[in-house]
Amino acid sequence: MEKEELGFVVTRPTSSFISRLEEVGKKYDFNYQKSDSKVRLQGQESGRKDKLAIGTNIFVVTPSFFVVEVKKDNIDTL
């Protein structure tokens, strides 16, 4: 079974990380929505099941240490 979720830590400010996700979304022609601690990227073209959507949640552990959770929102197997 394929894992649908990934977690990792970052020490950069959340604004820097969110900006990078926006750049990636623009490069691959994804639509994106953002808030202070969440980013959602969604592909414009449908795969075999639906459009690929990726949700990202950022959790503050300390002011300089963040946990990032990335997961597929829609189940698409491109």
pLDDT at residue 72, as a whole number? 85
CA distance 13 to 16: 5
pTM of the model: 0.73
Buried b (16+ CB within 10 A) or exposed e, 50-65: eebbbbbebeeeeeee
Residue 78 clears pLDDT 50, i.e. is over it: no
Could you report the per-residue pLDDT of 20-46, keeping only the tens digit for each?
889 988 998 899 898 888 899 988 877
Architecture of domain 5-72 in this structure: 2-Layer Sandwich (3.30)
Dump pLDDT digits (tens) for 6-24.
Answer: 999 999 888 888 888 899 8
